[in-house]
Structure 1
Amino acid sequence: MTPTTPLPTRYLRDLTVSALGLGCMGMSAFYGPTDRAQNLGTLNRALELGVTFYDTADMYGPHTNEELLGDWLQGKRDRVVLATKFGIQIAPDAPGGRRINGRPGYVRQAIEGSLRRLRTDHVDLYYLHRVDPETPIEDTVGAMGQLVQEGLVRAIGLSEVSPDTLRRANAVHPITAVQSEYSLWTRDPEQGVLAACRELGVGFVPYSPLGRGFLTGEIRSPDDLADDDFRKHNPRFQGENFQRNLDLVREVQAMAAQKGCTPSQLALAWVLAQGEDLVPIPGTRRVKYLEDNLGALDVHLTPDDLARIDAAFPPGAAQGTRYPEATMNSVNR
């Protein structure tokens, strides 16, 4: 299946973006060794195929993912809607090896660092990566709003927030998008945050819409993952959980075969079908997977298809938490 060209667009409040974006995290962090030339080739192919929405964060690497994007963006900046995030600091002495910082003074420090690494004078969408429990969300968002006033940021977003936090934040400054994990095996946003986004006119950006690669059917054993791949420490990829989740993926594979598409395309088409206000950002380092993912835009799921998928993969079907315990404490705040 070949991708649709030009790609359809969707709206995140006041931003117009391609209906599928590209998550760039794996090009620099968490998923084992990477290849710079391969990454640049994938970025170039994505832009050629009409992808306009690119997602990074200062903690990916840390910093090296923004630097990669900064090099690639030269001569292309006006064709790209660029999103980055701040708020997670690598801290080996802290629980989970990281510290959450949403203090107003740090907001300024973080954007200055990101702009320098990205080699640009503004970011289109600037997210708070995780909510700082020690800093009122109103204070963090107030400082982010100041960046909009100064033209350093076009719009602001939040990641992994609760409906109440979103409402409090939006009362201070319009929130353009919420980014949270959402896929067939992570349907937490259906418990309130999606409804809150729609109530407030906020767009929604699902990350890991392919279940960190599990829903592709390409991962058949924990041994398929590199030793330094963080998924080896993810409860869903361990022990009995792995096998039970693999059984679910086989259902997706069977339905995809009947539909004449790949499992990845079926899983992404399901996310896309949840509403025109959703813009998934599947990540990949390889052109062949990029092209396969974009083919999801040509997959039409009927109401019967959606009902069958929902029956095979209902909310809560995946076994294991989506992060280790220390990291789970920082989501849905």
Structure 2
Amino acid sequence: MDAAASSADETARDGGLTLVVGGAGRVGRLVCERLRATGRAVRVVTRDAESETARALRDAGCEVVGGDVGDEASMRAALSGCEGGCVIATFGAQRIGRVTDVVTNPSLRDAKHPRFVNYLGVATLARLSSEAGARKFVRVTGASVGYPAFDFIAVLLNVVLSMTIRWQLAGEMAVRAACEKSSMKYVVVRPGNLADFERCDEDESGNRRVVLGSGGARVEAGKISRCDVADVIVEALERQECENVTLTVAGLTNPSGGVRTELSWDPAKGMHWRTVETDATVREGRSYREDSMWTAVTPDSDALKEKAHRRYVAMFLALLAGIFVLLARGVFLLVRSFM
């Protein structure tokens, strides 16, 4: 074992090692930088331990090891010395859905499919982390995981990204199950639309805001800086209120004034936008590093259940197929009329 690994293991015995799986990703890198800035010992797991990003992380003082959540042996090795430490999972599947998926069922054989990465990989990592004695497990998913299965955004993401929302939800359920069987606590972070601009409190206009919702609070998935998401993850590691919690984080272009808009159905007005008060467990501010952002965070009290994602995706695809048939028939009749 090299000097960096030996040092990390020594720190781990004091409860200070943080394992970041997916640390070479765009959010993961920022998390590692913030962790190192606070003096933490960081071990990064990445599929390519010799990449340019991996070398940069080593230069920043991180220990970098190769591994894949689909390879249980590599995860066991990566978790060595993590007793009393924390595990952060920032990885996720990026597979684009294909028309042939309807007949080939890639969820059973494609290792890059969300079922293998967002669900089975997360389930394995959470189980091994609890067995290794980790005290806290942080999983990053997405705000749309909390949306109803029939929500257009959830349906669209499932169609385009190979049912990713369905399997992200299954992964969250697996994390909860692993924590129920051990003393390990979980934090699920569901960010909105990720962007690469500066932190909210560094914005020169002073108008932008960040939002933090706890539990099942509905938060509109506005654009949020990856830097702000990294702040949430790092802050959640040590805050006592962040045990067995789900956090939805997003950004606003302007202060909300304590209200939000949502689509609503009314027999007289039909489908329309209405203004409602922000949920009681939602806080708004300039930085997630402010204590005031965390005053409404409470442990999850709901039981996650599988949603009817497949049904609404099937309905959406059937609608698309019907539209295609009608258009094709229209084109055929139009061409025929000119013959």
TM-score by length of 1: 0.31
TM-score by length of 2: 0.31
Q: Relative CO higher for 1 or 2, CA cutoff 8 Å, sep ≥ 6?
A: 1
Larger radius of gyration: 2
